[in-house]
Amino acid sequence: MINPGVLGALWAASRSGQHQQNVLWAYDPQDERPIFSFAVATFLGLVALSGLPGPVRLAATFAALVLFFPWAFTRYCLIPLGYAGAARFLTLWSGIAWLGDRFGGSIAAGAWAMLRRETHDEEWFARQTKQLEKTSLRPGGILACGLAAASRGDREGARLFLASVDDLHDIYSPSLARRMAREWLMVEAVERGDWSAIHEHGTRRGSRTCVSRVLYGVACLRLGRPYRLAKPRLVTWWLLSGAWMPLWPLVTAALVPLPEPEPDVQPEIEKTLRSVLDAHTRLLLMPAPTLERLTAVAAGWDALLAGGSPLADLADRVKATAVDDLAALAKEAELAIGPVTGAGGVLGAVAARVRKERLAELEEVADRLRQRAKAKRPLPPPDEWREYLQLRAVYRKAIALGGAEIRRLAFTSMYNGVTWQSVWLYNERGERPIAHGMFRWMLGEATAAGDQPAIQAQTNNVGLLPERIARLPPGWR
């Protein structure tokens, strides 16, 4: 048998072209753990085959198996038992499982074990965060930050971190990190009942765990999406998942045809003050308001305040109050109000208000990020990545309003902030993995906005990967 760490090194060295250089950066030739563990495991294997007493041979066999398959032992023994320190230590010896980010993966394994405990240990997570500052932030570290946020109860922060694991280039992203992040996101979406998010995560590129495949199949059946060979396929993945008891209610419910949902009949709003106020109040109290309802209420106010109405003299004051309520509701519910024709009505005023506030918020966040990068006031790498993710979330809310003009304005504000941060991280702080992830994302957004100078600049930045990110062994030329 060959130790997985040695197998990982041999596999890395066998790759051709630019990937050969890139994986040399991921595999540190000065890290002697794989070689040492291979030697120790080989010695223990010989002991197990020797004529020593039975208990000694049994102990040697167990130790050899642990050193040959460190991640399997960590995943199925140490993490379920909540042994964070042991899980973190043993993951450092796993070669293939966390190839490219063994250090970050070890912290992620420890954080995963900490989630199995009943209480949150902030001191432990603080120590691991300081450890992450000693190296460049990669997917394993991002995964650990997300799991730490989940342990604190910060679900939104956990979703931000874990959804961004896929943003980094493949050479930095062990497939295991992608699978773990995706599984957590899908399980958390089940708790929220967000089957659309589960379907979206399931359709993204990359491998999936058996649990993720089960949840994806359930989401397809619940949403009425095509899912071939539904029953045998879903039952097969359920059997392979091992999580039989938690998943069985979801599987059985998905395989039973759901009754046709009753259509959401939009009630006709009478052109009276009482009916419009009632519709307005019901909309504000709805747990999940929709854009259709908001549009209907805005149309009711437009009709009520039209010329000849008894409220015509108070039209401006009543309209301002209605716009305040509906704009606050649209922002809180994150309703995507697209471009509105005839912007003089209530809906047009709501769209203009939300657009103005979204763009102002984006400009403020981006300018704050740009000023900090220009002044070279560093934050720990996880906090740098969090600030970038928060800016990106604000940007996405702004462009969700629709329209080429809004996208262009939002892109200009966002681009100034993220460019300063990403170039600073890449050139001066050595955080090339996350900086390259920012370059890739900005290239996609520049293409969508049609900004040719930005497209050219980010194309050049993304192209730095093969030549300048690879770290060769000392003395290699």
Q: What is the full DSSP assignment across 237-250?
A: HHHHHS-HHHHHHH
As given in the structure block, the two tokens for residue 286 are 């709805």
Q: For residues 59 and 31, which has the higher predicted lDDT (pLDDT)? A: 59
Residue 108 belongs to what H/E stretch? helix 102-115
Ranking 313-327, 356-370, 437-451 by mean pLDDT, the lowest is 313-327
**168 contacts 433 by C-beta, under 8 angstroms:** yes
In a domain, 247, yes or no: no
Query: Where do runs of H (alpha helix) occur along 133-194?
Result: 139-152, 155-163, 175-192
Q: What is the pLDDT of residue 261?
A: 57
In a domain, 36, yes or no: no
Q: What is the pLDDT of residue 16?
A: 32
Nearest residue to 144 via CA among 129, 133, 123: 129
Could you give the angle at the alpha carbon of 216 between the alpha carbons of 215 and 218, nearest 5°?
65
In a domain, 98, yes or no: no
Q: What is the pLDDT of residue 296?
A: 86
Could you give the angle at the alpha carbon of 376 between the alpha carbons of 373 and 380, nearest 5°?
85
Nearest residue to 145 via CA among 121, 134, 161: 161
Q: What is the pLDDT of residue 258?
A: 60
In a domain, 102, yes or no: no
| Mean pLDDT value across the chain | 80
Average pLDDT over residues 243-262: 80
Question: Which residues neighbour 279 within 8 Å (Cβ) at sequence distance 6 or greater?
Answer: 267, 269, 296, 297, 300
CA 196/CA 189 separation, integer angstroms: 9
Q: What is the pLDDT of residue 341?
A: 55
| Residue 360's pLDDT band (cuts 50, 70, 90) | very high
Q: What is the pLDDT of residue 24?
A: 32
Q: In the block, which residue shows the tokens 């290699």?
A: 476
As given in the structure block, the two tokens for residue 23 are 């994986």
CA 63/CA 372 separation, integer angstroms: 50
Give the three-state DSSP class for 411: helix
Tell me what percent of the residues of the chain surpass a pLDDT of 90. Answer: 33
R_g (Cα) of the chain, nearest Å? 27
> Please, is 191 exposed, middle or buried when counting C-beta atoms within 10 Å of its C-beta (0-12, 13-18, 19+)?
exposed
Average pLDDT over residues 374-378: 92
* Phi, psi of 116, rounded to the nearest 5 degrees: -75, -10
Q: Is the pLDDT of residue 372 over 90?
A: yes
Q: In the block, which residue shows the tokens 């790759």?
A: 15
What's the predicted TM-score (pTM) here? 0.79
Q: What is the pLDDT of residue 110?
A: 93
Give the three-state DSSP class for 266: coil
Same domain, 418 and 447: yes
> Please, is 326 exposed, middle or buried when counting C-beta atoms within 10 Å of its C-beta (0-12, 13-18, 19+)?
buried
Same domain, 382 and 460: yes
Query: Where do runs of H (alpha helix) occur along 204-306?
Result: 210-223, 230-241, 244-255, 273-285, 291-304
> Please, is 22 exposed, middle or buried when counting C-beta atoms within 10 Å of its C-beta (0-12, 13-18, 19+)?
buried
Q: Is the pLDDT of residue 28 over 60?
A: no
Give the three-state DSSP class for 228: coil
* Number of domains composing the chain: 2
In a domain, 406, yes or no: yes
Same domain, 293 and 367: no
Same domain, 455 and 426: yes
Question: Which residues neighbour 471 within 8 Å (Cβ) at sequence distance 6 or greater?
Answer: 24, 25
Give, as one character, the DSSP assignment of residue 269.
P
| Residue 43's pLDDT band (cuts 50, 70, 90) | confident
**133 contacts 385 by C-beta, under 8 angstroms:** no
Q: For residues 173 and 355, which has the higher predicted lDDT (pLDDT)? A: 355
CA 96/CA 69 separation, integer angstroms: 10
Highest-confidence range of 187-201, 261-275, 314-328, by mean pLDDT?
A: 187-201
Q: What is the pLDDT of residue 236?
A: 93
Q: Is the pLDDT of residue 354 over 80?
A: yes
In a domain, 168, yes or no: no
* CA separation, residue 64 to residues 34, 44, 73, 81, 106 (Å): 13, 6, 11, 21, 20
Same domain, 280 and 329: yes
Q: What is the pLDDT of residue 308?
A: 55
In a domain, 464, yes or no: yes
Q: What is the pLDDT of residue 112?
A: 93
> Quick count: other Cβ atoms within 10 Å of Cβ 245?
6
Provide the residue range defining the domain that includes 448. Answer: 355-469
Same domain, 325 and 368: no
Torsion of CA 88, 89, 92, 94, to 10 degrees: -90
Q: Is the pLDDT of residue 13 over 60?
A: no
Same domain, 330 and 429: no
Same domain, 318 and 372: no
Q: What is the pLDDT of residue 373?
A: 92
Same domain, 307 and 362: no
> Distance between the two ends of the chain, CA-based, in angstroms?
33
Q: What is the pLDDT of residue 378?
A: 92
Same domain, 372 and 440: yes
Same domain, 287 and 316: yes
In a domain, 264, yes or no: no
Same domain, 360 and 432: yes
| Residue 31's pLDDT band (cuts 50, 70, 90) | low
Q: In the block, which residue shows the tokens 């359920």?
A: 238
